[in-house]
Structure 1
Amino acid sequence: MNVNVTVNAQGLAAALKNNLAQKRSTLNILEHVLLIATESPAELRVISRDFSQEIEVVIAAERVEQAGSVTCHAEKLQAAVTGLAGPATLSTTGSPDSEQFKTVLQQGRRRFQILSMPADIFPKGQEMGQAKSPVLDPEELAKAIATVQYAVAVHDARPALLGVHLNEHDVVATDGHRAACALIDADFRPITIPRDSLKNLIAALMEEGAELRYSDSAIEVVHACGRYRSQLLDVKYVDYKRVMRIPVSGVTATLDAAHIAPALSRLRSFVPVGTQMLGCEINENLLSLTAGTESDTKDEAEAQCSGSWPKVHLNLSYLNDAMNAVKGEFTWLNTGTQNPQFLWTGNQEVVHVLMPIRM
């Protein structure tokens, strides 16, 4: 179906900025975005999909001469509209069955012809199925996911670890060597969001008017500027509650992540490359950080400790990731050199668990 619609060029450029179309693909249609122009309301919907995600951005149209839909090569359309300001017209020429079927972007004397394909061959999106809408603050969920996502596994034979897990009030991530759990005011039935979807999901949750719903197969956020949908991992998550249970015994210390982060940065070049081993010990209200097992290469940070602190060896990169997530004062519970280390903020609203390097 042919299309003729006039929109603000800057709005179109913004709608294309984070599209999911692939740069190069053996299937040409995966390099395209779907454009849908409607008269009532007068708007242009820009939809992009990959194998697991879907982003829809809605922009107001200044004029719709002909409503319809067409797919357009995303990279070329984005290049054509870059740097333009003011109204620009998108129109199709030729028959959808012809090799000369094109979308034309025109603004004054500027004219760009972009090969296009019929809308009906654009891949179908992920089905939602029977969805549930939890009562929650979308921004709170976005912040919780952003806080724990550092602990998601990058490559692992266990698919369950390749995403952030939501269950009841918990937002959890773990790669088997570390874990992070944030509490939110919501009640989810168990779902796991793929690692690759987290960035776009967080962005959608932060949009004005965001509303979330989810099913057994997909999660979706509808907001004032459009919609985002992602499929979920079809896996059973690990028993994280057993790991996250904070022991009642051990030595606690109060520290500030802002004081530790600079020391970790300075020591990064001195720790053993293979193990990233970092010794952590508190004496006289100072946290001593030792690169590897060498006591003559160390840094320190302020600490307030409740008792005798057993020296523990941690992965510097893992501790640094936790410090970036904490951002402020926190409590550190050390229950022994071979035991998990527990770090939490507030009244255990966010808990981080780091497994020590066994000596």
Structure 2
Amino acid sequence: MKFSILRDRLIQSVQDVSKAISTRTTIPILTGIKIIADEDGITLTGSDSDISIESFIPKEEDGNEIVAIQQTGGIVLQAKFFTELVKKLPMDIVEIEVMNQFQTIIRSGKSEFSLIGLDAEEYPHLPQIVEDKVFKIPTDILKHLIRQTVFAVSSAETRPILTGVNWNIKDNQLNCTATDSHRLAQRTAEIESTNGTEYNIVIPGKSLNELNKILDDTSDLVEIVITDNQVLFKAKHLLFFSRLLEGNYPDTSRLIPTDVKTEIVVKTKEFLQAIDRASLLAREGQNANVVKLATLDSTPGLIEISSNTPEVGKVVDQVQCQSIEGEELKISFSAKYMMDALKALEGMEISIRFTGAMRPFVIRPINDETILQLILPVRTY
């Protein structure tokens, strides 16, 4: 195998596929990046068995030559060394040549490196996916869906199903739900489905986080293919495979309260800043990271945000609301959960609907029913 390639394009593809590579794999060859050169261009692959990423670099794009192939072939190179090496090469053009015994020469300008590679034939094959369950969604909307839900997955392996995001597809609508049983994030979006089939799958949060990092923020459509145990995301020159989590995702619809006892409307930024300030003194003690919210009878239109750690001190902050309706309220909750939820919401103003001091409460942007955040309170009063 022998080819020369633009360094920047090689770096981008190497960084993309590296996101699927784990140093803790029990299959040694999976610590490497597979590089295949054929008549059409270069294909790089990285995998850890759970996630597999394939990046294709065409010979030319928009009339510009990117790759010049002198000899087709393949090699697997250690990801750790190859990634660092490529980033530090001095010139814009990189030449890669595989010699006898899988010895690989990498040249750029006056620099020359030699790496011992592995046989590309030994690299595990990517999942073979039958593309009969397919739908499409714009890349930027997919990135929003991931960002606004994935933070709420569980990090505890005691209930593995909760470490993923539940995707429910019905009537050309995608409903994404994540919960760690203390909070819940939900987002819906319209999709383009080819066959109107219903699906209910759970994608690992880790997979979605990695996918989000490598997708460009464009309106180009991403094709999503679902099988019994795999999901494939197809973007321009990129294939991203992820295994699905096995098991039944809990029915979260009954967690979302339908009644409202107190509703406040508040500016997102001001509220977030007040929670952030209160959390500074709430990091120690028995109720670490818990802040309190109270409506004030004495001064209508204001809410009080406070935290108190006896050995550190206390903070009291007041926030002007756009409106407050319903019963008087005192409630405590995790500052981190609230800040995570507020950062995921888009919009200048939010509505927070409470149904009592010990019942879950719902946060939504004003005039947007597609996104919902739910948080369970903490008992302190």
| TM superposition shift of 1:29 | 1.1
Corresponding letter in the other structure for 1:184: A
| TM superposition shift of 1:27 | 4.2
For the 8 Å contact 1:126–1:231, the answer to whether it is kept is no
For the 8 Å contact 1:277–1:316, the answer to whether it is kept is yes
For the 8 Å contact 1:7–1:60, the answer to whether it is kept is no
Gaps of 5+ in 2: 60-66
For the 8 Å contact 1:58–1:226, the answer to whether it is kept is yes
C-alpha RMSD of the superposition: 2.2
Distance 1:81 1:141 in 2: 30
Q: Percent identity?
A: 20
* Secondary structure class of the residue paired with 2:148: helix
From 290, 311, 333, give the equivalent of 2:353: 333
| TM superposition shift of 1:312 | 0.8
From 295, 300, 304, give the equivalent of 1:282: 295
Gaps of 5+ in 1: 96-100
Alignment of 1:196 onto 2:217: no
1:89-104 aligned within 5 A: 89-95=95-101, 101-104=102-105
For the 8 Å contact 2:45–2:54, the answer to whether it is kept is yes
From 357, 364, 372, give the equivalent of 1:344: 364
For the 8 Å contact 1:80–1:105, the answer to whether it is kept is no
Deviations 1:204-234 (A, max 9, x none): 3746453222222111111223211111111
Residue equivalent to 1:163: 164
1:216-227 aligned within 5 A: 216-227=228-239
Alignment of 1:88 onto 2:106: no
TM-score, reference length from structure 2: 0.85
Q: Are residues 224 and 127 of structure 1, via their aligned partners in 2, closer, same or farther at CA, if it must alter by over 3 Å?
A: same
* Secondary structure class of the residue paired with 2:357: coil
| TM superposition shift of 1:123 | 2.3
Residue equivalent to 1:299: 317
| TM superposition shift of 1:129 | 4.7
* Secondary structure class of the residue paired with 1:265: helix
Distance 2:75 2:8 in 1: 20
For the 8 Å contact 1:23–1:31, the answer to whether it is kept is yes
Deviations 1:119-153 (A, max 9, x none): 11112334435641124334323211210112110
TM-score, reference length from structure 1: 0.90
Corresponding letter in the other structure for 1:287: I
From 252, 265, 269, give the equivalent of 2:263: 252
* Secondary structure class of the residue paired with 1:198: helix
175-184 vs 308-317, which deviates more? 308-317
Distance 2:135 2:360 in 1: 33
Residue equivalent to 1:36: 36
* Secondary structure class of the residue paired with 1:297: strand
Corresponding letter in the other structure for 2:342: M
Residue equivalent to 1:115: 116
Residue equivalent to 1:7: 5
| TM superposition shift of 1:104 | 1.0
